[in-house]
Amino acid sequence: MSLRIDQDHSRFRNIVRGRIRQNLRKYISKGELLGRQGKDIVSIPIPQIDIPKLRFGDKQQGGVAQGDGDPGDPLSANPQDGDGEGQAGDQAGDHPLEVELTLDELADILGEELELPNIENKGKNAIIDKKDRYIGVRNVGPNSLRHFKRTFRSALRRQIALGTYDPKRPVIIPTRDDMRYKSWKTEEEPVANAVILYMMDVSGSMGDEQKEIVRIESFWIDTWLRKQYKGIETRFIIHDAAAREVDRDTFFRTRESGGTMISSAYRLAAEIIAHDYPSATWNIYPFHFSDGDNWSVDDTLLCVDILKKLLLPASNVFCYGQVDSPYGSGQFIKDLREHFSDDEQLITSEINDRDAIVESIREFLGKGK
Amino acid sequence: MAQFALKTALPNYLRDEQLRIEEFARGVGLDFFPTIFEVLSYEQMNEIAAYGGFPTRYPHWRWGMEYERLSKSHEYGLSKIYELVINNNPAIAYLLEGNSLVDQKLVMAHVYGHIDFFKNNFCFQMTSQGRDARDGADVRKWIDGMANHGAIVRKWANRIGIETVELFIDACLSLENLIDPQKPFLPKDLSPKTSEEEAEPETPEVPLLRVDREYMESFINPEEFVESQKQKLAQEAEQAQRFPTEPERDVLGFLLENAPLQRWERECLAVVRAEAYYFLPQMQTKIMNEGWASYWHSRLMTESICDASEIVDYAERCASVLATAPGQLNPYKLGIELFRHIEDRWNRGQFGKEWDECDDWELRRHWDRRTGLGREKIFEVRSLYNDVTFIDEFLTEDFVLDQKLYAFGYNERNDRWEIESRTFGDVKKQLLTSLTNAGNPIISVLDANHGNRSELLLEHTHQGADLRLDWAKEVTKALSRVWTRPVEIHTVVDEKPTALRYDGRDYSQKTL
């Protein structure tokens, strides 16, 4: 049952979308949405979508109320908050509006705003999904699938052919043979699966702010890739001098103090891929975040070796994000750029502060791979 | 729309209740329009509530926003709309499907109070569209009126695009509250001044004091006095040159008549203005209207409608309607108590010169002249007052004390809202301030040819509270959208006279 209000409601939703798009950069750099994530939806506070009018300022006017208390006593809550029972629609209330959006919609908005291209499927379609589509017409079927137009047409055709059609009294009576029904066909649809491998340096030089940046960025990467692929998995690897696989929570919370051997993480990533995600059937997205401080030149060379031989051939794209930290030398990104200057499969990005997150997302995902 | 026509008929058991309650209501002297009750599912209720009670209103996104808000808070169990009643003849009231019978009865009793108020309170006379020629009945076909508005807006939306129309309506709605509450009661100046009358701008004589002896001239009318009189004249002449000659509070009306609008813009603006005036009385009488309806639901329910098994359920519901919370004025509570207070005073003869002049506390406390005029008085009050005059005339010191009323305000130093005072004077002043002009700032058009550049100048009559500036900025933009020329609002910001100006491209805020 569709309501009349649906039209107004959908226009309102469009305005909300526009408003979110306008403020998207702010939402991204503040990381506000992370705490508001449900299973498939995020709830987004939208400031001031109401119609502005000439009104008195917020704290200019007091009011009158009833109850106990002496002059000078504080009122328990903000008096303008909340509205009691009342007639509907005559007062809007001052709350910021909370709008719920599916992650899918959010990804759309992200894509529009950052002009992200859709990802070209690499043709790794080993997994097959079955789907019914209504594309045909048959002579038999359940009444709920009646095809009025086609039924009418065949009845008309029959009556004209038999000469029983009277244009002055155009009554069409379908017989059983005239009935047409929609029919469906089961199609096999290849499903593209993808895995995101997050790797992060948790050595002493990565501070809380650096990790927060990684957390925010990974939320948006997740959102976008989830939109692109139906089934998506995420794996998390942390490393200092040694690497290990952890769950999401641990990934963002762990803090170690050891040194940094990036090759350990790459080696583990390569193992996970070899073991669980054959590159023939999986789209693989390794993301590595670090402050760019590696233990030794030898280790860096080892990393380059693993990348060239194992990771790059298996992955759609390999992304390296370097977070600026007061302790790191930031050398690693230069090394990578030197070794892979002409390889489009390896994307590097420097994330100096939260405001740079947007740009870095665009660099990572803007290639459409 | 079909669903409304088909599914909302009142079931028989409610129909019976309606007839019963209508009889009781008539019995106590309530005088109402014929009333149609409809039963709605909560989705329909939210929809109609979002449309302000009119399922046929013009399309606009803000109904969608309201709908989202209502549905959310309904789904989360934060609020529930029990009833909605429309000032129309016949009156339409909506009941929520699935409410308990006691609730439905309560709502019906409450609704008859509202409709009596709609029909008889003087503020609502302005929503009357005339008298029926046959039976003299008050014509209020607002359901049709709103549907016509909807048709107008839809027509233009189809022709030139919903986005364009909606953007313009947004601008008009920003100005929605800039209307003149007194306007509907002013005599309409039907005869426009003929050009003949204006044709003779005779130079007026400088008014001087009468001098009997010529030699006294320079003493009675000294040079400076003559000069000041001349200046005054010049000022008046300048004022007369201005347009409008008097500050115009009906900003929407002024724009409608004088802004260079296209036909579709004019029609849309007229729709917004007509609806703003329609809803105005409800804002001017919130306390009285809810108080009156609560007074009658309470009497009818306890005296006639409820049986013993229902009274506890009723009492619980009624108590939640009348509940108070810190920092929030409950108009239901204040209204009902004040009506009861008035009734009690007039029943006991606590009015008139003798009563006013008596300052013996003991005497006043036991004052009872057995005048029994209470019922009569409250009916008179419901006809002749609005919230401002209601409070101004009937709020008494005893009442403020009894009802524990207090004035509160924001304490900058402590960064919190605090109770400021419990004295009668402060409470009354604060209450009247917040009710004046239905809580809106007083804005008038001063000059339509400001700076001789056909710019629009508006003035905010500052009465202690500043405007909310971020919104004021948007409003200047909306104004200049309608006026099509730069716009300026003179107001006071932090005790300094300030001009807020939008010239079509830039916004500026300058101290004058």
Tokens coding B374: 């209470």
pLDDT at B484: 94
CA atoms in the 13 A half-sphere facing the CB of B280 = 27
Mean pLDDT of B18-23: 95
Same domain (yes/no): A184, A204? no
Same domain (yes/no): A146, A264? no
Same domain (yes/no): A171, A260? no
Q: Which string of DSSP letters, residue by residue, matches B245-301?
A: SS-BS-HHHHHHHHS---HHHHHHHHHHHHHHHHHHHHHHTHHHHHHHHHHHHHHHI
Measured torsion, CA atoms of residues A45, A48, A50, A55, in degrees rounded to the nearest 10: 140
Tokens coding B207: 């008014």
Mean pLDDT of B83-88: 92
The residue among A167, A188, A209 that closes a domain is A188
Same domain (yes/no): A100, A154? no
Locate the chain B residue with the closest alpha carbon to A96.
B69
Same domain (yes/no): A289, A261? yes
Same domain (yes/no): A329, A198? yes
Question: How far is Cα A217 from Cα B277, in angstroms, rounded to an integer?
Answer: 51
pLDDT at B497: 94
Within-domain flag for A65 = no
Domain residues for the domain of B41 are 2-121+285-302
Provide the CATH number for the domain around residue A273: 3.40.50.410
Within-domain flag for B217 = no
Q: Which string of DSSP letters, residue by residue, matches A22-90?
A: HTHHHHHHHTGGGGGB-SSEEEEEE---SPP---B-TTT--EEEES---TTPBPSS-TTS---S--TTS
Chain B, window 316-355: residues with a beta carbon less than 8 angstroms from a chain A beta carbon: 320-321, 323-334
For residue B465, give how far its alpha carbon lies from the nearest alpha carbon of chain A (Å). Answer: 5
The residue among B267, B302, B337 that closes a domain is B302
Q: How many domains does chain B have?
A: 3
In tens digits, chain A (369 residues) has pLDDT values of 456 788 898 888 888 888 888 888 888 887 766 656 666 778 777 766 788 899 888 777 788 988 888 888 888 655 544 333 333 333 334 456 777 888 888 888 888 888 888 777 665 555 667 778 888 888 888 888 899 999 999 999 999 999 888 888 888 889 988 999 998 888 777 677 788 999 998 887 787 888 888 888 888 888 888 888 877 888 999 988 888 899 888 888 777 777 788 889 999 999 999 988 888 778 888 999 988 888 888 888 888 889 888 888 888 889 999 988 777 677 888 888 888 877 878 888 888 888 888 888 888 888 777
Question: How far is Cα B19 from Cα B34, in angstroms, rounded to an integer?
Answer: 11
Q: pLDDT grade, residue B7 (50/70/90)?
A: low
3 state DSSP class of A28: helix
Contact B328 A13 (CB under 8 A): no
Within-domain flag for A246 = yes
Same domain (yes/no): A350, A204? yes
Same domain (yes/no): A183, A197? no
B176 interface with A at CB cutoff 8 Å: yes
How many other C-beta atoms can be found within 10 angstroms of the C-beta atom of residue B76?
8
Question: How far is Cα B101 from Cα B309, in angstroms, rounded to an integer?
Answer: 12
pLDDT greater than 60 at residue B512: yes
Beta-strand runs (E) in B20-111: 35-40, 83-86, 91-96
Contact A75 B72 (CB under 8 A): no
Chain B CB contacts of A97 below 8 Å: 65, 68-69
For residue A101, give how far its alpha carbon lies from the nearest alpha carbon of chain B (Å). Answer: 13
Within-domain flag for B164 = no
Within-domain flag for B427 = yes
3-state secondary structure string, B170-207? Answer: HHHHHCCCCCCCCHHHCCCCCCCCCHHHHHCCCCCCCC
pLDDT tens per residue across span B367-390: 998 899 999 999 999 999 999 999
H/E stretch holding B458 reads strand B455-461
Q: Rounded to 5 degrees, what are φ and ψ at B250?
A: -85, 75
Chain A CB contacts of B327 below 8 Å: 63, 65, 75-80
For residue A260, give how far its alpha carbon lies from the nearest alpha carbon of chain B (Å). Answer: 49
Work out the angle between the directed axes of helices B374-384 and B101-120 (0-180°, nearest 10): 70
Same domain (yes/no): A282, A259? yes
Same domain (yes/no): A295, A206? yes
The residue among A66, A81, A115 that closes a domain is A115
Same domain (yes/no): A272, A172? no
Contact between A198 and A211 under an 8 Å Cβ cutoff? The reply is no
Instruction: Give me the residues paired with residue A137 across strands.
Output: A182
Domain residues for the domain of A238 are 192-365
Contact between B55 and B47 under an 8 Å Cβ cutoff? The reply is yes
In eight-state DSSP terms, residue B261 is: -
Provide the CATH number for the domain around residue B36: 1.10.10
Within-domain flag for A123 = no
Question: How far is Cα B490 from Cα B247, in angstroms, rounded to an integer?
Answer: 13
Within-domain flag for A143 = yes
The residue among B436, B468, B501 that closes a domain is B436
pLDDT greater than 50 at residue B482: yes
Within-domain flag for A250 = yes
Q: How many residues does chain A have?
A: 369
Chain B, window 451-480: residues with a beta carbon less than 8 angstroms from a chain A beta carbon: 460, 464-475, 478
Q: How many CB pairs under 8 A join A and B?
A: 228
Contact B468 A55 (CB under 8 A): yes
Chain A CB contacts of B472 below 8 Å: 54
Measured torsion, CA atoms of residues B427, B428, B434, B437, in degrees rounded to the nearest 10: 180
Q: pLDDT grade, residue B6 (50/70/90)?
A: very low
Q: How many domains does chain A have?
A: 3
In eight-state DSSP terms, residue B371 is: -
Same domain (yes/no): A183, A110? no
Same domain (yes/no): B328, B354? yes
Closest CA to A255 of A303, A298, A204, A197: A204
pLDDT tens per residue across span B188-206: 655 555 555 555 556 667 7
The residue among A142, A169, A188 that closes a domain is A188
pLDDT greater than 90 at residue B150: yes
CA atoms in the 13 A half-sphere facing the CB of A114 = 28
Within-domain flag for B173 = no
Mean pLDDT of B233-249: 79
Question: How far is Cα B279 from Cα B439, in angstroms, rounded to an integer?
Answer: 14
Instruction: Give me the residues paired with residue B35 across strands.
Output: B91
Same domain (yes/no): B399, B464? no
Q: pLDDT grade, residue B416 (50/70/90)?
A: confident
Within-domain flag for B348 = yes
The residue among B402, B420, B436 that closes a domain is B436
Same domain (yes/no): B6, B81? yes
Closest CA to A191 of A74, A283, A56: A283
Closest CA to B45 of B80, B89, B13: B80
Within-domain flag for B498 = yes
Same domain (yes/no): B424, B457? no
pLDDT greater than 60 at residue B27: yes
Within-domain flag for A310 = yes
